[in-house]
Amino acid sequence: MIVVHHNPNCGTSRNVLAIIRASGTEPVIIDYLREGWTRPQLLGLFAAAGLTPRAALRANVPEAEGLDNADDEGLLAAMVAHPILVNRPIVCSPRGVRLCRPSEAVLPLLACPPPADFRKEDGSPLAA
């Protein structure tokens, strides 16, 4: 089973979802902006992916203002309060957990690759 913590407004997230589907798998999709995060959930995902809260922070949104000097606890609290602060998509599969930016980062998590002629939504091929 593959789980995608997905933001439908994000092109990278949509591309990752399309890559997974093109590989022959229908993932479980979690719209984290709607469902939110819990502190234990974030800690588990970050530990499994080898990420720190700082590395997972989406710093280019207004909600990130004032977080430059926040410690991990402050970042986690902000991420729970403002789910948009977590970079996306985060994909969980039997092969591991990753923040899949760029979208090609999902490929090692898949049992089968997408077809060789797969194109991202902008028409570009997957990078090798």
Average pLDDT (8-27) is 96
Cis peptide upstream of residue 94 (ω within 30 degrees of 0): no
Contact between 73 and 87 under an 8 Å Cβ cutoff? The reply is no
The DSSP 8-state label assigned to residue 83 in this structure reads G
12 pLDDT above the threshold of 80: yes
pTM: 0.93
pLDDT band at 128, cuts 50/70/90? low
Residue 127 is predicted with a pLDDT of: 83
Annotated catalytic residue: which of 10, 92, 100, 112?
Answer: 10
What is the C-alpha separation between 99 and 106, in angstroms, rounded? 8
Residues 45-94: tens digit of each pLDDT: 999 999 999 999 999 999 999 999 999 999 999 999 999 999 999 999 99
Q: Which stretches within the chain are classed as H helix?
A: 11-22, 32-35, 39-49, 53-56, 72-81
- Domains present along the chain, CATH in parentheses: 3-109 (3.40.30.10)
- Catalytic, 10? Answer yes
Q: What is the chain's mean pLDDT, rounded?
A: 96
Q: Is the dihedral of CA 1, 102, 17, 54 positive or negative?
A: positive
